[in-house]
Amino acid sequence: MAAAGRGRGLGVLVRITRMALRHPWQVGFAFVSAVIAAILQLMIPRLLGSAVDQTQTVLAAGARHQDATAALWATALALLGVSVCRGIFTMLQNYFGEAVGHHVGYQLRLACYDKIQRLSFSYHDTIHSGDLITVGMLDLEGVRMFFSTAVVRALLLSVLIGVGAYMLLSTDVTMGLAALSFVPFVAWRSSVTRLRLRATWLKLQERLSVLSRVMEENLGGIRVVRAFAAHAFELAKFQKASQNALGLAHDRVDIRVTNTSMMTFSFFAAMGLVLWIGGSKVIAGEMTVGGLASFLTFMMILQMPVRQLGLMVNAFARASTCGTRLFELLDKEVTIRDAANAKEIEISDGVLRFENVDFAYSRTVNRPALKNISFEACRGETVGIVGPPGSGKTTIAHLIPRFYDVSGGRITLDGQDLRHVTLVSLRRAVAVVQQDAFLFTTTIENNIAYGDPWAKEARIERASESAQLHNYVLDLPAGYTTVVGERGVTLSGGQRQRLSIARTLMLEPTVMIFDDSTAAIDSATEQRIRAEMRQYFASRVTIIVAHRLSSLMHANQILFVENGEIVERGSHDELLARGGRYKALHDLQLPPGEEISPLVPEAKR
């Protein structure tokens, strides 16, 4: 298991590196700049040591003060030039390293968003949107930073530590070992610290994810919270989640401060050892003061790169963990997709047929959601579907546009199996008006024309009139340019549903499905909507899923669904005469002797 996990993590890092290498010239500039910056940085101790020895030599020889000053100026200018060049190449290294990371992040961001759009309803049924946001933001950020914080840094530290150690040891083995004595301890503690911080960061990320869920649910249900005066309860829930995250953040601070103190102590202990040994050598004439200054400067330069070993290890670990989660999403199989030989759907007669359809939401569920569903609807006909909650009504509606695929049997439109046509053409031909009418934070006009953004204003208004929304919109100060709030909260439930109906009418589909989409609309308005939509109904198949019988009593055929099966079917009058479940539901909603006369003439039988 551990070996498999390491192999998978290595594969993730290789995959990220390959994505970075798709930008070769930027990668090349980053690498070359890192090497040159490291070499220039290693020149500084040599220059300082030479400056000290040169000054001592000039003064010891009794040279004039002006000569010593000139020598120091020359060395200072050389140091300044090297430092400026090092700064320039460090800037180029950071610039091109970040550029590669942002290109990778851009590609992954688009790929992640595209995959979320294409994943089927069955996936979104089981995942929380807060988790997807965490993957698409925090995990993607960890992958994006991999090239600059891990790959480029690994090259930079290899040159600095490797070449620097060689230069120290080649100058004086004893002094070199003393100067490098802090490196193993600091490298060990830095790596351990970063890995511990990484582990706690993953836990903190999970707690922040919980925190974001609490906030998201609160904002989404803010009206419910206010209506039930539950702000104290919600605040306590949010505070608890915040305290869990805060406690872990304090633990991270303790880890960081404790280990930083230990690493700093080891560095200064090594520096004291170098001063003691080097001072003894200077007194004995075995080393110049400039040589000792070079060793001390080398130590100061190596201190930060050695500490950054932990950052590098953490970057590798973070990219491996974040990349695993991100690529799991990107590699997720899209269950509802076009078949290999899928063609554009061709509409002629407009006949919708269910042929012995079975469906289960999960293979592990013993009881299927639908069993042996069969019916047919032709152009100009209306099919009503009614039944108790959880009976499978909405499932039937969602199978037609292939939000899910059938488990058995098939669904055809003009004899074409819906699994063998392209999704884009199918969803142009089949439109669903859902009960939960989601609206975007934009103008009413843009919401109605969402399926056809280039539609003319007159067409938008006609769809709005058919949905009984036009007069209401005209009364608004900004008319159709009025911006609705998030999820349409500035509109009532009935107005949102009417806007959703208008948006669907814009598509002019072959099959129109109303999934309890008039539940928030009063009966009189609903009947007026149906009267206005007679011309639409006459040229297409209409499926109406409803709990309110007045919404579907005019249908050519009514299906009573219970436990995933059609237990009764027929027209309104036929089902009443049969005296079964439909009659019992009718009597509950409409007492005997009381009947609603639909404003819409009954369809031809």
Lowest-pLDDT range, 378-382, 492-496, 562-566, 575-579? 492-496
* Alpha-carbon gap, residue 55 to 67, rounded angstroms: 9
Q: Please report the sign of the dihedral spanned by the C-alpha atoms of residue 514, residue 515, residue 519, residue 520.
A: negative
Q: Please, are residues 393 and 561 in contact by the beta-carbon 8 Å criterion?
A: yes
* Alpha-carbon gap, residue 80 to 60, rounded angstroms: 26
pLDDT band at 604 (very low <50, low <70, confident <90, very high): very low
- Closest C-alpha to 40, from 90, 94, 86, 87: 86
Range(s) of the chain covered by CATH 3.40.50.300: 352-433+509-589
Range(s) of the chain covered by CATH 1.20.1560.10: 2-330
Q: Which residue has the higher pLDDT, 527 or 110?
A: 110
Cα separations in angstroms, 65 against 59, 463, 516: 8, 94, 97
The 10 Å Cβ neighbour count of residue 144 is 24
Q: Please report the sign of the dihedral spanned by the C-alpha atoms of residue 206, residue 208, residue 214, residue 216.
A: negative
pLDDT single digits (tens) 179-206: 888 878 877 877 777 777 767 777 777 7
Q: Please, are residues 327 and 15 in contact by the beta-carbon 8 Å criterion?
A: yes
* Alpha-carbon gap, residue 177 to 274, rounded angstroms: 9
Q: In the chain, how long is the greatest CA-to-CA distance?
A: 127
Q: Please, are residues 323 and 13 in contact by the beta-carbon 8 Å criterion?
A: yes
Cα separations in angstroms, 263 against 185, 195, 267, 270: 7, 16, 6, 11
Provide, rounded to the nearest whole percent, the portion of the chain with pLDDT above 70: 89
Query: Which amino acid appears at position 113 of this protein?
Result: Y
Q: Which residue has the higher pLDDT, 98 or 506?
A: 98
Burial level of 167, CB count in 10 A (0-12/13-18/19+)? middle
Pair of tokens at residue 324: 């695993």
Average pLDDT over every residue of 36-42 = 89
Q: What's residue 285's pLDDT?
A: 80
HSE, side-chain direction, 13 A CA sphere, residue 160: 27
pLDDT single digits (tens) 420-445: 999 989 988 998 888 777 788 888 88
Average pLDDT over every residue of 530-535 = 73
- Closest C-alpha to 378, from 398, 359, 353, 395: 353
What secondary structure does DSSP assign to 171-200, as a single string?
H-HHHHHHHTTHHHHHHHHHHHHHHHHHHH
* Alpha-carbon gap, residue 425 to 343, rounded angstroms: 9
Q: What's residue 93's pLDDT?
A: 92
Residue indicated by tokens 């010239």: 25
Strand segments, DSSP code E, in 181-311 are: none
pLDDT single digits (tens) 279-336: 888 888 888 787 788 888 888 877 777 767 767 777 887 888 888 888 888 888 888 8
Cα separations in angstroms, 564 against 367, 395, 396, 419, 469: 9, 9, 9, 21, 35
Q: Please, are residues 347 and 414 in contact by the beta-carbon 8 Å criterion?
A: yes
Burial level of 256, CB count in 10 A (0-12/13-18/19+)? middle
Q: Please, are residues 394 and 125 in contact by the beta-carbon 8 Å criterion?
A: no
Q: List, edge to edge, every strand of the sheet that includes 557-562.
A: 430-433, 511-515, 541-545, 382-386, 557-562, 565-570
Q: What's residue 605's pLDDT?
A: 36
Average pLDDT over every residue of 117-142 = 77
Average pLDDT over every residue of 341-370 = 86
Residue indicated by tokens 């369809």: 603
Q: Please report the sign of the dihedral spanned by the C-alpha atoms of residue 425, residue 426, residue 431, residue 432.
A: negative
Q: Which residue has the higher pLDDT, 415 or 54?
A: 415
The set of residues, in sequence order, having a beta carbon less than 8 Å from that of 213 and lying 6+ positions away, is 128, 130
Which of 60-74, 131-145, 485-499, 546-560 tops mean pLDDT?
546-560
Q: What's residue 485's pLDDT?
A: 66
HSE, side-chain direction, 13 A CA sphere, residue 90: 11
The 10 Å Cβ neighbour count of residue 596 is 14
Average pLDDT over every residue of 526-531 = 73
Average pLDDT over every residue of 76-88 = 87
The 10 Å Cβ neighbour count of residue 175 is 23
pLDDT band at 600 (very low <50, low <70, confident <90, very high): very low
Is it the case that residue 252 has pLDDT exceeding 60?
A: yes
Q: Quickly name the fold that domain 352-433+509-589 has.
A: Rossmann fold (3.40.50)
CATH number, domain 2-330, options 1.20.272.10, 1.10.10.10, 1.20.1560.10, 3.30.470.20? 1.20.1560.10
Q: What's residue 351's pLDDT?
A: 92
Residue indicated by tokens 């906030």: 215
Cα separations in angstroms, 78 against 38, 43, 68, 73, 92: 17, 10, 15, 8, 21
The β-bridge relationship of strands 352-359 and 511-515 is unpaired
The β-bridge relationship of strands 416-417 and 382-386 is unpaired
pLDDT single digits (tens) 132-174: 777 877 788 888 988 988 889 889 888 888 888 888 888 888 8
Q: What's residue 597's pLDDT?
A: 46
The 10 Å Cβ neighbour count of residue 485 is 10
What secondary structure does DSSP assign to 351-371, as a single string?
-EEEEEEEE-S-TT-SS-SEE
DSSP for residue 150: I
Write out the H or E segment, with its range, that includes residue 344. none
Average pLDDT, the chain: 82
Lowest-pLDDT range, 79-83, 114-118, 287-291? 287-291
Is it the case that residue 474 has pLDDT exceeding 70?
A: yes
Is it the case that residue 125 has pLDDT exceeding 80?
A: no
Per the DSSP assignment, residues forming a β-bridge with 343 are 421
Long-range contacts of 478-486 (CB under 8 A, 24+ apart): 479/444, 480/443, 480/444, 480/445, 480/448, 481/443, 481/444, 481/445, 482/443, 482/444, 483/441, 483/442, 483/443, 484/439, 484/440, 484/441, 484/442, 484/443, 484/444, 484/447, 485/441, 486/441
The β-bridge relationship of strands 408-413 and 557-562 is unpaired
Q: What's residue 4's pLDDT?
A: 45
* Alpha-carbon gap, residue 491 to 488, rounded angstroms: 6
Q: Which residue has the higher pLDDT, 52 or 81?
A: 81
Is it the case that residue 2 has pLDDT exceeding 50?
A: no
Pair of tokens at residue 566: 């059609």
